[in-house]
């Protein structure tokens, strides 16, 4: 449609063309009249006139131009009267021109807001106010579909009453089909318009008599609707429809950029924040420190380990563990919120949290406050009153820039302090000291030496014979030794802890199993002797461990009941191991609890788990070296007899201990008093000697 300004410009252009045509025709007529006058004068005066022809021609031409000027003047006067030029004074502009100027100002304003990436509420409110001023309609609202595209929800509105109103797509299929085709619905009489079927209740509720709805499309998909309503029937003018469609186009662009920003924000959230606690992760903590720059010239970094969290996950489920972790983070934030510093918490991988506390070093008050906090958290029952659980907190703290010149260096120092804390029982928190770097270097050397030992087969096995109460050899326990190239033959106490820390117990344990299988299928194949092998938590936690045992038994061809797997008592409190233990029992191998009575398992586990024997730890018979009775030993012996479990007493070092155990019915015995651990060759020689004596 041609607006007022365009009409005026077109009229002015036509007027100029009229002037050009009149001028040309007048010029032609004047020249023709001048030529005719000269010809007539030449015929009348003869030769004398031709002598002064130039003078006569000029005079005649001048006289002929007089009517030409008169004609042009009259033509201009007529054109100016009929088509006045457009006025440059806005105050004299027509209503249509004023509306066009207002639309352009609104468009520029909304476009600027869109380019500025203003927040969604501000942009949508500006759209509503602008359209209200342009259209003079009392009701304008903006609706968007949910992610599934099935429910249309009012995001903002003037007036505010329809906000959060919902319309179901399946009830308005005809209406939405119309928006896809047009892409607008202009209803001068809304209640009579068949395209609005299904909207009767909404129209009646808000008193809408006339309606102009324009679709908001993103990538060709209908994502929302811009609605303009009036309480009285009205004719929607073409320029009004064009205006609303233009604003709808801006809303489409804004919705697309908003969606892109949401995706970018989601990605940023995933990269820099922990999904469980909402706390920044290590990347988020690094970014926060970088943003503060010189304002954060010194800080303490505390790394907190939450012990017992895995048991919460196993016993009550992952959701309970996540809830507990969030509660711990909240408790830490509250307790470390003195006025002079603002703590920043972060989630580290596993069951670790980091706390960043601005401040200079040294700070004795801070260390005391931190240790008091860890003590209080350790004494706090977590999860719920019905299902309380205890957690254990340890921490290491380092300082920037004293202990490192970057977050990575300070974090490494704090982790070293935490590792040292876990090695001793006196403190819950330790501060990093330079000596810890030497300690860490030593641990690294041990790890490298263990890996070398595994690769170069520096490990050895020895066998400690096991006897019946009648002195008959019935089996042996395989014990591990390390033939260190510099330190000689080392017992497990010197390296097992480091092997577990380095996650090497699985390959080392597999090597021990292979040694036992070789003996059972080789030199001991023609005997009924059993071999007992200690199994670590790392082996049992491997989902393929049962299959590994099955393969060892099948490939070596010995009876599975001749292999006894010993596990420590504390592992019975790990629910996820139950399935593995059941699989092992189904294979036919025997299961024993090592060092029974020294762990913290409940006696009910003895009924729930498929066990064959328990091993009585030497600490319960040590009192017999100074007394003739051991009450705790008697209790455990009676328990095993009641539950019909085989009991093996280990650590027998004196004759009095042996007599006591025989008197109370213990039928399986081992210890230095009976036989010391010996190399496989010595054990086989013992067998040969016993066979010859028999």
Residue with tokens 């670790």: 352
Q: What is the DSSP string of 264-291?
A: HHHHHHHHHB-TTT--B-HHHHHHHHHH
Cβ contacts of 3 within 8 Å, gap of 6 or more = 96, 97, 100, 239
How is residue 505 written in tokens?
């117990």
Q: Calculate helix-pair angle for 120-135, 238-272, nearest 10 degrees.
A: 180
How is residue 286 written in tokens?
């690094």
Start-to-end CA distance of the chain, whole Å, equals: 121
Burial of 44 (0-12, 13-18, 19+ CB in 10 A): exposed
What is the spatial distance between Cα 34 and Cα 60, in angstroms, rounded to a whole number?
6
Backbone angles phi, psi at 84, to 5 degrees: -65, 145
The catalytic site residues sit at 650
What is the spatial distance between Cα 528 and Cα 523, in angstroms, rounded to a whole number?
12
**H-helix or E-strand containing 224?**
strand 221-230
Q: Calculate helix-pair angle for 4-45, 95-115, nearest 10 degrees.
A: 130
Q: Calculate helix-pair angle for 282-292, 407-423, nearest 10 degrees.
A: 130
Instruction: Give the 3-state secondary structure of 433-489.
Output: CCHHHHHHHHHHHHHHHHHHHHHCCCEEEEEEEEEECCCCEEEEEEEEEEEECCCEE
């Amino acid at each position: 449609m041609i607006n007022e300004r365009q009409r005026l410009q077109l009229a002015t252009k036509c007027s100029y063309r009229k002037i050009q045509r009149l001028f040309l025709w007048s010029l032609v007529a004047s020249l023709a009249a001048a030529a005719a006058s000269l010809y007539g004068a030449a015929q009348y005066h003869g030769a004398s006139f031709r002598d002064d022809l130039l003078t006569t021609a000029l005079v005649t031409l001048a006289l002929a131009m007089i009517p030409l000027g008169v004609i042009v003047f009259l033509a201009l006067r007529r054109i100016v009267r009929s088509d006045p030029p457009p006025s440059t004074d806005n105050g004299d502009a027509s209503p249509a021109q004023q509306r066009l100027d207002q639309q352009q100002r609104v468009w520029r304003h909304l476009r600027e807001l869109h380019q500025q990436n203003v927040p969604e509420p501000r942009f949508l409110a500006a759209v509503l106010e602008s359209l209200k001023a342009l259209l003079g309609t009392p009701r304008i609202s903006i609706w968007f579909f949910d992610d599934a595209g099935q429910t249309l929800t009012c995001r903002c509105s003037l007036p505010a009453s329809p906000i959060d109103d919902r319309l179901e797509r399946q009830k308005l299929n005809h209406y939405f089909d119309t928006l896809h085709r047009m892409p607008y619905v202009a209803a001068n009489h809304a209640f009579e318009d068949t395209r609005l079927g299904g909207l009767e209740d909404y129209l009646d509720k808000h008193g809408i008599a006339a309606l102009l709805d324009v679709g908001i499309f993103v990538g060709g998909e209908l994502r929302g609707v811009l609605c303009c309503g009036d309480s009285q029937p009205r004719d929607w003018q073409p320029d009004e429809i064009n205006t609303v469609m233009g604003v709808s186009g801006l809303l489409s662009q804004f919705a697309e950029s908003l969606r892109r920003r949401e995706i970018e924000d989601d990605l940023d959230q995933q990269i820099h924040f922990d999904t469980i606690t909402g706390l920044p992760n290590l990347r988020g903590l690094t970014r926060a420190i970088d943003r503060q720059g010189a304002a954060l010239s010194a800080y303490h970094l505390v790394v907190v380990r939450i012990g017992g969290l895995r048991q919460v996950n196993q016993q009550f489920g992952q959701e309970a563990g996540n809830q507990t972790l969030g509660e711990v983070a909240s408790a830490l934030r509250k307790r470390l919120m003195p006025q002079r510093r603002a703590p920043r918490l972060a989630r580290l991988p596993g069951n670790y949290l980091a706390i960043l506390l601005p401040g200079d070093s040294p700070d004795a008050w801070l260390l005391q406050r931190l240790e008091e906090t860890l003590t209080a958290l350790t004494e706090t029952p977590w999860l719920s009153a019905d299902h309380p659980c205890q957690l254990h907190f340890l921490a290491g703290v380092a300082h920037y820039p004293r202990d490192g010149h970057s977050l990575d260096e300070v974090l490494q120092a704090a982790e070293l302090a935490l590792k040292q804390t876990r090695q001793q029982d006196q403190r819950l928190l330790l501060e990093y000291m330079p000596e810890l770097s030497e300690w860490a270097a030593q641990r690294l050397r041990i790890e490298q030496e263990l890996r070398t030992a595994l690769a170069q087969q520096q490990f050895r096995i020895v066998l400690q014979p096991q006897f019946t109460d009648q002195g008959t050899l019935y089996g042996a326990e395989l014990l591990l030794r390390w033939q260190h190239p510099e330190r000689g033959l080392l017992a497990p106490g010197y390296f097992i802890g480091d092997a577990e820390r380095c996650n090497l117990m699985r390959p080392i344990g597999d090597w021990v199993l292979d040694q036992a299988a070789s003996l059972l299928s080789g030199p001991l194949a023609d005997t009924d002797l059993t071999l007992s092998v200690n199994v670590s938590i790392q082996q049992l936690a491997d989902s393929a461990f049962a299959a590994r045992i099955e393969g060892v038994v099948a490939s070596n061809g010995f009876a599975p009941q001749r292999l006894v797997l010993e596990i420590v008592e504390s592992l019975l409190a790990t629910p996820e191991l139950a399935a593995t233990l059941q699989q092992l029992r189904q294979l036919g191998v025997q299961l024993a609890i090592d060092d029974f009575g020294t762990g913290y398992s409940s006696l009910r586990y003895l009924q729930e788990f498929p066990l064959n024997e328990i091993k009585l730890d030497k600490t319960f018979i040590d009192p017999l070296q100074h007394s003739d009775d051991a009450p705790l030993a008697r209790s455990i012996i009676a328990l095993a007899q009641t539950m019909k479990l085989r009991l093996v007493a280990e650590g027998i070092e004196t004759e009095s201990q042996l007599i006591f155990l025989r008197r109370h019915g213990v039928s399986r015995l081992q210890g230095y008093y009976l036989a010391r651990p010996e190399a496989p060759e010595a054990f086989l020689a013992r067998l040969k000697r016993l066979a010859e004596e028999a």
